[in-house]
Amino acid sequence: MKLTHEITRRLVEVVRAEMGLRPIILALEGPLGAGKTTLTKELAKVMGVKDEIVSPTFVLHRQYEGYAGLVLNHIDCYRMEEFGELLQIGLRKMIGRKSLIVIEWADKFEKEIKGLRDEESKVIWVKMKYGGKENERKIRIYENSRY
């Protein structure tokens, strides 16, 4: 958990540096139980979100407000079948507001998310997988342009 907190603290630094210039999309990918929602909870905590963070698997999208007006949009694509569903829940509006958008199961729409150009948004991919030991996770972070 300590490492997850450090990773999210660094991600928040990137968000703060970019906030207001363009939206940040954290595209999370990994198997069930890899820690996507846990990472989002840690991110929300570092951002100063006071609300309880729960997976939006059934409601698809939740929005939270943190310190200094930082807005966290938390999306879960697990039950989505096509990219149009992301658009229906307001992805373009979130991008237009230059908020932080965390998308769990982003790899389902990898092509479309990669298609969001740098001028439109900064996309950071966070790939999570199980490590060799119990409760160990491996996390790889890279920008859209370096994927």
Structure confidence at residue 147 (pLDDT): 43
- pLDDT by residue for the chain (147 residues), tens digit each? 555 667 777 776 776 677 667 788 999 999 998 889 988 998 888 888 999 998 888 899 999 998 777 889 999 999 999 999 999 999 989 988 878 899 999 999 999 998 876 557 888 899 998 888 887 888 888 876 544
Lookup result for tokens 């949009």:
73
Pairing of strands 71-76, 61-65: antiparallel
SS3 state of residue 29:
strand
Task: Extract the tokens encoding 104.
Answer: 């769990």
Cβ atoms within 10 Å, residue 61: 17
Main-chain dihedrals φ then ψ at residue 10, nearest 5 degrees:
-65, -40
Structure confidence at residue 127 (pLDDT): 92
As a whole number of angstroms, the distance between CA 55 and CA 138 comes to 21
Using an 8 Å Cβ cutoff, are 128 and 36 in contact? yes
Structure confidence at residue 110 (pLDDT): 92
Structure confidence at residue 38 (pLDDT): 87
